[in-house]
C-alpha cells in the first residue's frame, strides 16, 4: 500500500482553507473512490484525471484500489479545482513523482481530457494563503494574471499536466512568475465623465464633493430628466486610488465571483479599480447581498471599496432594500446555510436616486403632481425608515427651466481633477487624525473628533427635535458636519457647518409637507 499527500485549497467565502489530498494505492478489486464530502463536480474528477494521465503519457494504476480522501472531511468541496492535486497525488503514490517535491507546493487547476490545465475561479485568495504558509503555488497559465498581482509570491504557471510533472522531475523547472508593476489606479482613468458636464444643480454637485470626501451615502430626489443619473455617474471620478491592500481585497472578491463566468487575463487592469455596481430594480435579495449554493458574493460585495448605485429606488422590493441595513452598518454580510456560514466584505458607498411620486412630479405642492397624497405616500413608503436613516445626505435635484434659455457656446472647463485633489487632501487629513473616514466614526471616536461647543450642540438638538430625526440621524449629521469642516480645514465644527449638513435632508422635509396635506 502506498500513500501520498498533496496540498491544495478550497474556497470558503473570502477565505481559502487548506485541503489535504490523500491518495492511497492498495491491493484489491480495481476501484476509484473519493471521500471527504466531495460534491458532484469533484466526484467527476475520476474520469477527467484518468483521461488526462493517459493522454499525457503516464500510466494509470491498473489493478489497484485507488482511494482519494479530501481532508478535512466536514468541509464541502465544490468544482474542478482539485483535479491537478488529485492527479499529482496519484503520480506521487505510484512513484512517478517524488513526494519530497510535492510536499512544499500547492496545486490548483482543472484538467481537460487531453491533459491541459484550465483556469479555476478563486485562485487569488488561495495564493494569499499559500504565500502565508511559505509554499510554492502551481497554477494554470490562464490564472497567471492573478498571481502577478501579489508581491513576494512563489508561483509558477503551467499549460498542461505534463508541464507540471516535468517541473517537479526535470532539470529545467518552470520559471517563477514575476509580479506585475500595475498598481491601483484612480477611478477617473476609466471614467472620462466630468462634473462640469452637468449644467446647474450646484447643491447636488456640492453634495457629490462632500460624499466623496467623507465616504457618505447619498440620495438624489427629483423629477425625471433633471440629471440624477448623470450626477451619480460622476461620483466615481472624484474618488482617489485604492491602496494596495484595498486593491487586493477587491481583486480577491472578483476572483471568487468569477466562478462559472470565464474570468480572463484581459481584465487584469480593471481588477485594481473601484467598481460601480448598478443592479436593475428587479434583482433579488440573493443577487444583491449574496447567496446561492455554494454561496457567492452579491452586488454589495462586488462594490466593496466602490459604489453601489440604485436607480429608481422605490421600484426595488422592500424586502430586498431592507437586506442592506446590516451591511451598511457593519461593512460585512453573513450568509448562513444549514451546513455552514460564510462572510463576505461589503464596505461600499451607497448612492440612490428616486422620483418624488409615482407620476414623477411632486415638490410639496399637489398642483405639480398627478397623484393623490395617499398614492404618493404609498409610493415613498416602499423605502423603510430605518434604511433612510442610514443615508447621510438627501439632496433635491429640481427642474431648472431657466437653463433652457441659455445656450452653451463652448465646452466647459473640467473641474473633476481639481475636486479630486481636494477629496484626496480631505481624506488624508481624516486618516491621519482618526485612522478612518468620517462616515466610519463611531463610539468614543465620534465624541472625540466631532465634539461640539455648547451653543452648536443646542442648535443641532433643536433642529433634530424640529425635524423629528432619530439618534442615528443625529450622529450622521455630526459626521457630515465634520467632513464639511475638513474641506475648509477648520479644526472645529462651527454652526455654519451644522446648518449646511442639516440642509441635506430633502426627503425628510418632503415627507413632512406631504403629511400636512
**Model confidence over 393-426: pLDDT tens digits?**
999 998 877 665 565 556 778 899 999 999 999 9
Q: Domain for residue 312, yes or no?
A: yes
Q: State the average pLDDT over residues 434-459.
A: 91
Indicate the pLDDT class of residue 294, thresholds 50, 70 and 90: confident
Q: Domain for residue 455, yes or no?
A: no
Q: What is the CATH number of the domain that holds 228?
A: 3.40.50.300
Q: Domain for residue 485, yes or no?
A: no
Q: According to the model, what pLDDT value does residue 432 have?
A: 94
Q: Domain for residue 175, yes or no?
A: no
Of 143, 158, 343, 164, the closest CA to residue 258 belongs to 143
Q: Say yes or no: 42 and 143 in one domain.
A: yes
Q: Say yes or no: 219 and 325 in one domain.
A: yes
Q: Say yes or no: 6 and 100 in one domain.
A: yes
Q: Say yes or no: 135 and 208 in one domain.
A: no
Q: According to the model, what pLDDT value does residue 264 have?
A: 42
Whether pLDDT at 190 is above 60: no
Q: Say yes or no: 334 and 427 in one domain.
A: yes
Whether pLDDT at 261 is above 60: no
Q: Say yes or no: 252 and 376 in one domain.
A: yes
- Final residue belonging to a domain, choices 142, 169, 196: 169
Q: According to the model, what pLDDT value does residue 260 have?
A: 43
Beta carbons within 8 Å of 122's beta carbon, 6+ residues apart: 11, 16, 81, 255, 256, 258, 259
Q: Say yes or no: 147 and 197 in one domain.
A: no
Indicate the pLDDT class of residue 56, thresholds 50, 70 and 90: very high
Higher-pLDDT residue of 467 and 334 is 334
Q: Say yes or no: 200 and 140 in one domain.
A: no
Phi-psi region for residue 489, left (φ > 0), alpha (ψ -120 to 50) or beta?
Answer: left
Q: Domain for residue 437, yes or no?
A: no
Q: According to the model, what pLDDT value does residue 181 have?
A: 60
Q: State the average pLDDT over residues 264-292.
A: 80
Beta carbons within 8 Å of 357's beta carbon, 6+ residues apart: 369, 371, 375, 376, 379, 380
Of 510, 515, 509, 506, the closest CA to residue 228 belongs to 506
The range of the structural domain enclosing residue 241 comes to 187-401+410-431
Q: Say yes or no: 122 and 211 in one domain.
A: no
SS3 157: strand
Q: According to the model, what pLDDT value does residue 404 have?
A: 58
Say how many domains are in the chain.
2
Of 157, 142, 345, the closest CA to residue 251 belongs to 345
* Average pLDDT for the chain: 89
Q: According to the model, what pLDDT value does residue 265 have?
A: 40
Which grid cell is 158?
503551467
Indicate the pLDDT class of residue 271, thresholds 50, 70 and 90: low
Span between the terminal Cα atoms of the chain, in Å: 85
Q: Say yes or no: 141 and 246 in one domain.
A: no
Whether pLDDT at 183 is above 70: no
Q: What is the CATH number of the domain that holds 140?
A: 3.30.230.10
Question: Lowest-pLDDT range, 64-78, 160-174, 300-314, 354-368?
Answer: 354-368
Indicate the pLDDT class of residue 197, thresholds 50, 70 and 90: confident
Which runs of consecutive H residues, i.e. helices, occur in 226-371?
Answer: 228-232, 244-257, 285-289, 299-302, 318-322, 325-330
Q: Say yes or no: 215 and 350 in one domain.
A: yes
Q: Domain for residue 82, yes or no?
A: yes
Angstrom distances, CA of residue 311 to CA of 11, 351, 436: 33, 8, 28
Global pTM? 0.88
Higher-pLDDT residue of 27 and 484 is 484
Q: Say yes or no: 163 and 263 in one domain.
A: no
Beta bridge partners of 337: none
CA atoms within 13 A on the CB side of 68: 28
Instruction: Give the start-end residues of each E strand in 10-56.
Output: 18-26, 31-35
Q: Domain for residue 144, yes or no?
A: yes
Q: Domain for residue 516, yes or no?
A: no
- Final residue belonging to a domain, choices 169, 197, 212: 169
Amino acid at each position: 500500500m502506498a500513500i501520498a499527500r498533496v496540498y491544495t485549497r478550497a474556497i470558503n467565502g473570502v477565505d481559502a482553507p487548506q485541503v489535504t489530498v490523500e491518495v492511497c494505492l492498495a491491493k484489491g478489486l480495481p476501484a476509484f473512490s473519493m471521500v471527504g464530502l466531495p460534491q458532484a463536480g469533484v466526484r467527476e474528477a475520476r474520469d477527467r484525471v484518468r483521461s488526462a494521465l493517459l493522454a499525457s503519457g503516464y500510466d494509470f494504476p491498473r489493478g489497484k484500489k485507488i482511494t482519494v480522501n479530501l481532508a478535512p472531511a466536514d468541509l464541502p468541496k465544490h468544482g474542478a479545482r482539485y483535479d491537478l492535486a488529485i492527479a499529482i497525488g496519484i503520480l506521487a503514490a505510484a512513484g512517478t513523482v517524488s513526494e519530497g517535491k510535492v510536499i512544499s507546493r500547492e496545486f490548483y487547476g482543472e484538467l481537460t481530457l487531453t491533459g491541459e490545465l484550465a483556469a479555476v475561479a478563486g485562485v487569488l485568495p488561495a495564493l494569499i494563503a499559500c504565500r502565508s504558509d511559505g509554499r510554492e503555488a502551481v497554477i494554470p497559465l490562464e490564472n497567471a494574471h492573478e498571481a502577478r498581482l501579489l508581491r513576494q509570491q512563489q508561483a509558477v504557471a503551467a499549460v498542461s499536466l505534463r508541464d507540471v510533472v516535468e517541473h517537479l522531475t526535470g532539470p529545467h523547472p518552470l520559471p517563477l512568475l514575476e509580479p506585475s508593476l500595475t498598481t491601483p489606479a484612480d477611478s477617473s482613468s476609466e471614467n472620462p465623465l466630468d462634473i462640469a458636464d452637468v449644467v446647474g444643480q450646484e447643491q447636488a454637485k456640492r453634495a457629490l464633493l462632500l460624499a466623496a470626501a467623507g465616504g457618505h451615502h447619498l440620495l438624489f430626489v427629483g423629477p425625471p430628466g433633471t440629471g440624477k443619473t448623470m450626477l451619480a455617474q460622476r461620483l466615481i471620478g472624484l474618488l482617489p486610488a485604492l491602496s494596495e491592500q484595498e486593491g487586493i481585497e477587491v481583486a480577491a472578491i472578483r476572483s471568487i465571483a468569477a466562478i462559472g463566468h470565464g474570468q480572463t487575463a484581459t481584465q487584469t487592469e480593471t481588477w485594481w479599480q473601484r467598481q460601480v455596481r448598478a443592479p436593475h430594480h428587479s434583482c433579488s435579495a440573493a443577487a444583491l447581498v449574496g447567496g446561492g449554493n455554494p454561496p457567492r458574493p452579491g452586488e454589495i460585495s462586488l462594490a466593496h471599496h466602490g459604489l453601489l448605485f440604485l436607480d429608481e429606488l422605490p421600484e426595488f422590493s422592500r424586502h430586498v432594500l431592507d437586506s442592506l441595513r446590516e451591511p451598511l452598518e457593519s461593512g460585512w454580510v453573513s450568509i448562513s446555510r444549514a451546513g455552514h456560514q460564510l462572510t463576505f466584505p461589503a464596505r461600499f458607498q451607497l448612492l440612490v436616486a428616486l422620483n418624488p411620486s409615482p407620476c414623477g412630479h411632486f415638490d410639496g405642492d399637489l398642483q405639480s403632481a398627478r397623484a393623490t397624497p395617499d398614492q404618493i405616500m404609498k409610493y415613498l413608503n416602499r423605502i423603510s425608515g430605518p434604511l433612510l436613516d442610514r443615508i447621510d445626505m438627501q439632496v433635491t435635484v429640481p427642474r431648472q427651466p431657466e437653463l433652457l434659455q441659455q445656450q452653451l457656446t463652448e465646452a466647459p472647463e473640467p473641474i473633476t481633477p481639481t475636486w479630486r485633489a481636494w477629496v484626496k487632501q480631505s481624506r488624508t487629513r481624516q486618516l491621519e487624525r482618526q485612522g478612518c473616514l468620517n462616515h466610519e466614526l463611531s463610539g468614543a471616536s465620534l465624541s472625540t473628533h466631532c465634539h461640539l461647543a455648547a451653543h452648536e450642540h443646542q442648535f443641532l438638538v433643536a433642529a433634530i427635535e424640529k425635524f423629528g430625526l432619530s439618534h442615528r440621524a443625529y450622529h450622521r449629521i455630526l459626521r457630515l458636519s465634520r467632513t464639511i469642516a475638513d474641506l475648509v480645514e477648520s479644526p472645529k465644527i462651527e454652526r455654519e457647518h451644522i446648518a449646511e449638513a442639516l440642509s441635506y435632508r430633502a426627503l425628510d422635509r418632503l415627507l413632512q409637507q406631504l403629511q400636512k396635506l
